[in-house]
Amino acid sequence: MNSIKHFKICAFALLLTLLSNTVHAQISNDISHEEALKVLLTEKKAEKLGVLENIAVIDAGANLKAFIRMDGSFIGSIDIAIKKAKTARYFNMASGDLGKISQPGGIVYNIELSNGGLITFPGGVPIKDENGTIIGAIGVSGGTIEEDHDIATVGTNAILQ
C-alpha cells in the first residue's frame, strides 16, 4: 500500500515534468504569428479612442514579425513604430525609459545614433510571455507619446488573454 502511494507520487511527478515540457514547447521563447496578429488587433482599441496609429511587432531576435498602419496615420510613423519596437527589444526596456537617460548630460547621451537609429521616446514596450520571458516587442507611433505608450501596453497584454 505504501509502495502504491509512492508510485502515485512518482507518477504525478512524472506527469508534472512532462506537462512542463509541453508548456515549454507551446510558448517557446519567440512570439508566434498568431500572437503577433493578436497584438496587431490592438488597433481596434486605437480606433475606439480615435487615434491613428502604426503598430509594429518584432520577435525575440528583433526581426519584424507583424505590422499594420491605420488609414490616415502618419507615413513617417512606419519607421518610427519599427524602431521603437527594436529599441525596446535591443535593451529590454520601454523605449521611453531609455530616452530618460539619453538626454544631454545623461549616462547614455546620443545612444540613438547606434544600431542604425534608435527611437527613445515612449511607444516601444517589450512583450513577455506568462513566465515573464521576453519574446519580442511592440512599437506604436502616430498619436501622442502617452497614447502610443498606452496602446503599446494594451498590445503587450493582448497575448496573455
Q: Which residues from 43-72 bind a second copy, rule CB under 8 A?
A: 43, 59-71
Confirm or reject binding of residue 7 to a second copy (CB under 8 A). Answer: yes
**Full DSSP string of 137-157:** EEEEESS-HHHHHHHHHHHHH
119 SS3 class: coil
CB of 152 vs a second copy, minimal distance in Å: 16
Query: Of 87, 95, 128, 147, which lies in the binding site for a second copy, with binding defined by CB under 8 A?
Result: 87
- What is residue 114's DSSP assignment? S
Confirm or reject binding of residue 159 to a second copy (CB under 8 A). Answer: no
CB of 84 vs a second copy, minimal distance in Å: 9
| Placement of cell 527589444 in the chain | 89
- The residues that bridge with 57 in the sheet, in sequence order, are 66, 138
Count of residues in contact with a second copy, rule CB under 8 A: 71
